[in-house]
C-alpha cells in the first residue's frame, strides 16, 4: 500500500515538473496587443536585433565557439541558427544534441538569444538535410514526383512515414531544449522547416498526393484565394499549400506540447513574375495567407525572406492585421541598417535579420551594427521611457527612385527626403547609385520628435502652411537658386494665413538603459540649414531630438 502511495506521489511530482517546464516557456510570447507589438520573454519586451548564420556556420563546436561571440560584437541580441536533422540523428532513433547544447551555452555566455531553424524534412524545398538513412529509403519515405512521374529530391508531404520520422526528430529536439533551457529562455523562437515549397512542379503528383487531390477540404480554398483558375499551376499551388500547412500545423501541435515558444514559417518569395513551381510553390506566401492562417493556427507568423528588389513592397505584404512582421532573412548589404530601421519604425516588426551575416564584409555589417545601436536605445525608450504605451512611429526608406515621404501627423506635415536631395553633396551627382537612407521617426509629444537613422533630411510645416506652399529652390547658403534652367518655379506669395512651425532646436542625443534621454551635441547653423531642417548625412548614424514651436 505504502509503495503504491509512493509511486502515485512520484507520478504527481513528475507531472508538476513537466507543467513547470511548460508554463515557464509559455512566458515567451508574441504580444500582439502591446504597442509596439513585440516578443516578450519572461514578461519583458524585446526587439529581435537579429542575424542569421550562413547554412554551415554551426556544424561543429569550434565554429560555434568562434561565430557567436562575433555576432555579439556586431550588436545582435538574437542569432538565427540552423538545427540540422542529419547531424542530429545520423542513425535512426539515436540523437546527438551536442551542437544544440554548444549553441545554447555559448549564446548565454555572450548574452544572446537563439532562434533555431528546423532544417528537417525540407530546406529550400529540398530534403537535403534529412539523414542519409531517410534519403536512401525511398520506399518508406517516398518522394514527391512531377506530373511525368520523375521523383524529386523532395520528400512527399503526403506520406505518414515522412511525417512521423520528421516529427520524432523535431519533438526530440524541442524536448531537449525544454529540459536545458526552462529557466533562462535562451531559445526564443522556432522556425518550422525552411522555405517549404515545391520546385519543378507546382504540386506533388505521387500516388499518395493524387489520392488527396481528388477528395478533401482543400477545394474550398479555391473560392477564397484570388488566383487565375484557368492556369492549373495556381490551382495545384492551392492544393499543395493546404497540405503543406496541414503538415506544418501537425508538427507545431506536437512541438508546442513540449516547448511553448512562438513558432513561425519562412517563405521564398514569388518574385519577378514567376509561376508556381518556377518559384517554390505553396509556401507561406502572402496570397496564400487564407490557407496558412486557417489551417495552421499554431504558427504565430509567416515571414518573408527578402533577397529581391522592392523591399518596402514585400514587408508591406507581411505586415497585415493578421500577421505580425518578422524578417528572418534579408540580403546583407550596405542598406541593411536603414532597412532594419524602416522595418521596425514603419511596421513595428518583432525582429529583423540579415542572412549570412557571419560571412558578410565589415563594410556591410558596420551599417547593421550602427542601426542596431540606435534600435537598442529606442527600444529602451519604447518600453521603459517617455513613450511606453502611447507609441507613434514611422519608418523612412528612401532611395534614388523613391526620394520623398510625406508624413501627415495631426496638424503637422513632415517632409522627409533622401539626404542626397540636398544638392550640395558631391556623392549625389557623381554617377554612383545612391546608398539608401532611412530612419525611425518617433513622436514624443505634439512638438517633439526623435529621428534615428542615416541619410535623411526632415523639414516640418503646419498643414495650413503646406497648403499654401511656395515652391522656391534654396541653395546651401539659404539664397534662392537663380538658375534660369531650374525646373522649380518660384511662386509669388499671396496672403498667408495661419501658423508656421519652426525648429526650436535639434540635438543629437543618446538614450540610456533606463530610457532617459541624454544630450550629446547641438546641431544648429549650417548643420540644420539655419533652422530649416534636421538631417543625418549618408554614412553617419545619429539619434536626433527635434523640438518644434509655432509662430
Binding site for ligand DGJ (CB under 6 A): 55, 124, 194-195, 305, 329, 355
Between 194 and 365, CB nearer to ligand DGJ: 194
Between 271 and 510, CB nearer to ligand DGJ: 271
Give 245-284 as a DSSP string: HHHHHHHHHHHHHH--S-EEEEEE---TTPPBTTB-BTSS
Sequence-distant (6+) residues with CB within 8 A of 346 are 315, 319, 393, 394, 395, 396, 397
Q: Nearest distance from residue 32's CB to ligand DGJ, in Å?
A: 25
Residue owning grid cell 547593421 = 368
What number of CA atoms fall less than 13 Å from residue 302's CA on the CB side? Answer: 33
**Distance from first CA to last CA of the chain, Å, rounded?**
88
Between 308 and 411, CB nearer to ligand DGJ: 308
Does residue 441 contact residue 458 with C-beta atoms inside 8 Å? yes
Between 45 and 280, CB nearer to ligand DGJ: 280
Between 53 and 152, CB nearer to ligand DGJ: 53
CB burial of residue 513 (10 Å; 0-12, 13-18, 19+): exposed
Q: Nearest distance from residue 96's CB to ligand DGJ, in Å?
A: 22
Q: Nearest distance from residue 154's CB to ligand DGJ, in Å?
A: 15
Cell of 339: 532597412
Between 54 and 459, CB nearer to ligand DGJ: 54
Q: Nearest distance from residue 125's CB to ligand DGJ, in Å?
A: 10
Between 124 and 527, CB nearer to ligand DGJ: 124
Largest Cα–Cα separation, the chain: 105
Residue owning grid cell 496541414 = 246
Q: Nearest distance from residue 194's CB to ligand DGJ, in Å?
A: 5
Query: Helix 160-180 to helix 232-258 angle, to the nearest 10 degrees?
Result: 40
Q: Nearest distance from residue 65's CB to ligand DGJ, in Å?
A: 22
Cell of 393: 512611429
Sequence-distant (6+) residues with CB within 8 A of 421 are 403, 404, 428, 457
Across 310-467, the runs of DSSP E, i.e. the strands, are: 326-327, 329-330, 351-352, 393-398, 404-409, 412-418, 437-445, 448-454, 456-462
Name which of 201, 213, 127, 202 is nearest 165 in CA terms. Answer: 127
Q: Report the DSSP pairing between strands 301-306 and 329-330.
A: parallel
Between 265 and 452, CB nearer to ligand DGJ: 265
Does residue 306 contact residue 269 with C-beta atoms inside 8 Å? yes
Cα–Cα distance list, 137 to 55, 130, 133, 143, 302 (Å): 25, 11, 6, 10, 32
Count, in order, helices (H) and strands (E) of the chain: 13, 24
Sequence-distant (6+) residues with CB within 8 A of 62 are none
Between 53 and 396, CB nearer to ligand DGJ: 53
Give 170-230 as a DSSP string: HHHHHHHHHHHSTTT--EEEEE-SBS--B-SSSS--SHHHHHHHTSSGGGGGGGTS---TT
Between 89 and 329, CB nearer to ligand DGJ: 329
Cα–Cα distance list, 223 to 47, 226, 229, 245, 302 (Å): 38, 8, 10, 18, 22
Between 194 and 454, CB nearer to ligand DGJ: 194
Between 181 and 195, CB nearer to ligand DGJ: 195
Q: Nearest distance from residue 37's CB to ligand DGJ, in Å?
A: 24
Residue of this chain nearest to ligand DGJ (CB atom): 195
CB burial of residue 26 (10 Å; 0-12, 13-18, 19+): exposed
Q: Nearest distance from residue 325's CB to ligand DGJ, in Å?
A: 17
Angle at 523 between CA 518 and CA 527, to 5 degrees: 155
Between 36 and 304, CB nearer to ligand DGJ: 304
Name which of 64, 62, 111 is nearest 83 in CA terms. Answer: 64
Q: Nearest distance from residue 308's CB to ligand DGJ, in Å?
A: 11
Q: Nearest distance from residue 80's CB to ligand DGJ, in Å?
A: 10
Does residue 450 contact residue 548 with C-beta atoms inside 8 Å? no
Q: Nearest distance from residue 240's CB to ligand DGJ, in Å?
A: 19
Q: Nearest distance from residue 199's CB to ligand DGJ, in Å?
A: 13
CB burial of residue 128 (10 Å; 0-12, 13-18, 19+): middle
Q: Nearest distance from residue 329's CB to ligand DGJ, in Å?
A: 6
Q: Nearest distance from residue 246's CB to ligand DGJ, in Å?
A: 22
Between 194 and 348, CB nearer to ligand DGJ: 194
Amino acid at each position: 500500500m505504502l509503495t503504491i502511495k509512493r509511486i502515485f506521489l512520484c507520478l504527481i511530482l513528475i507531472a508538476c515538473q513537466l507543467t513547470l517546464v511548460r508554463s515557464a516557456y509559455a512566458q515567451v510570447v508574441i504580444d500582439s496587443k502591446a504597442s509596439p507589438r513585440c516578443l516578450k520573454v519572461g514578461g519583458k519586451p524585446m526587439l529581435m536585433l537579429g542575424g542569421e548564420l550562413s547554412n554551415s556556420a554551426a556544424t561543429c563546436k569550434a565554429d560555434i565557439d568562434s561565430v557567436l561571440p562575433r555576432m555579439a560584437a556586431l550588436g545582435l541580441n538574437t542569432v538565427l541558427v540552423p538545427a540540422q536533422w542529419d547531424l542530429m540523428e545520423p542513425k535512426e532513433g539515436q540523437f546527438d544534441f551536442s551542437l544544440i547544447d554548444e549553441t545554447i551555452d555559448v549564446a548565454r555566455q555572450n548574452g544572446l538569444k537563439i532562434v533555431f531553424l528546423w532544417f528537417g524534412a525540407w530546406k529550400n524545398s529540398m530534403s537535403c538535410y534529412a539523414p542519409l538513412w531517410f534519403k536512401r529509403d525511398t520506399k518508406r519515405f517516398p518522394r514527391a514526383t512531377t506530373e511525368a512521374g520523375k521523383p524529386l529530391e523532395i520528400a512527399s508531404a503526403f506520406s505518414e512515414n515522412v511525417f512521423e520520422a520528421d516529427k520524432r526528430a523535431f519533438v526530440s529536439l524541442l524536448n531537449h531544449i525544454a529540459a536545458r533551457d526552462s529557466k533562462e529562455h535562451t531559445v526564443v523562437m522556432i522556425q518550422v522547416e525552411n522555405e517549404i515549397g515545391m520546385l519543378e512542379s507546382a504540386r506533388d503528383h505521387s500516388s499518395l498526393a493524387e489520392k488527396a487531390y481528388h477528395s478533401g477540404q482543400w477545394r474550398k480554398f479555391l473560392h477564397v484565394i484570388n488566383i487565375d483558375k484557368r492556369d492549373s499551376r495556381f490551382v495545384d499551388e492551392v492544393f499543395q499549400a493546404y497540405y503543406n500547412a496541414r503538415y506544418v500545423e501537425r508538427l507545431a501541435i506536437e512541438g508546442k506540447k513540449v516547448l511553448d515558444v512562438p513558432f513561425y514559417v519562412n517563405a521564398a518569395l514569388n518574385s519577378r513574375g514567376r509561376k508556381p513551381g518556377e518559384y517554390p510553390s505553396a509556401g507561406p506566401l502572402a496570397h496564400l495567407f487564407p490557407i496558412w492562417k486557417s489551417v495552421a493556427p499554431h504558427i504565430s507568423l509567416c515571414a518573408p525572406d527578402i533577397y529581391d528588389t522592392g523591399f518596402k513592397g514585400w514587408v508591406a505584404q507581411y505586415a497585415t492585421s493578421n500577421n505580425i512582421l518578422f524578417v528572418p532573412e534579408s540580403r546583407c548589404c550596405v542598406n541593411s541598417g536603414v532597412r532594419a530601421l524602416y522595418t521596425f519604425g514603419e511596421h513595428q516588426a518583432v525582429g529583423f535579420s540579415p542572412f549570412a551575416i557571419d560571412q558578410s564584409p565589415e563594410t556591410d555589417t558596420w551599417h547593421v551594427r550602427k542601426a542596431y545601436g540606435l534600435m537598442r536605445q529606442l527600444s529602451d525608450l519604447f518600453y521603459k521611457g517617455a513613450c511606453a504605451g502611447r507609441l507613434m512611429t514611422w519608418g523612412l526608406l528612401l532611395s534614388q527612385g523613391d526620394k520623398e515621404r510625406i508624413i501627415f501627423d495631426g496638424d503637422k506635415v513632415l517632409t522627409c527626403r533622401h539626404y542626397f536631395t540636398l544638392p550640395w553633396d558631391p556623392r549625389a551627382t557623381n554617377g554612383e547609385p545612391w546608398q539608401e537612407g532611412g530612419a525611425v521617426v518617433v513622436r514624443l509629444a505634439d512638438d517633439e520628435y526623435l529621428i534615428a537613422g542615416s541619410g535623411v533630411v526632415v523639414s516640418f510645416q503646419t498643414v495650413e502652411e503646406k497648403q499654401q506652399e511656395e515652391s522656391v529652390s534654396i541653395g546651401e547658403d539659404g539664397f534662392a537658386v537663380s538658375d534660369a534652367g531650374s525646373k522649380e518655379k518660384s511662386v509669388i506669395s499671396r496672403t498667408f494665413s495661419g501658423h508656421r512651425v519652426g525648429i526650436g532646436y535639434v540635438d543629437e542625443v543618446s538614450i540610456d538603459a533606463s530610457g532617459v534621454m541624454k544630450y550629446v551635441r547641438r546641431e544648429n547653423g549650417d548643420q540644420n540649414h539655419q533652422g530649416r531642417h534636421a538631417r543625418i548625412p549618408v554614412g553617419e548614424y545619429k539619434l536626433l531630438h527635434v523640438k518644434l514651436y509655432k509662430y
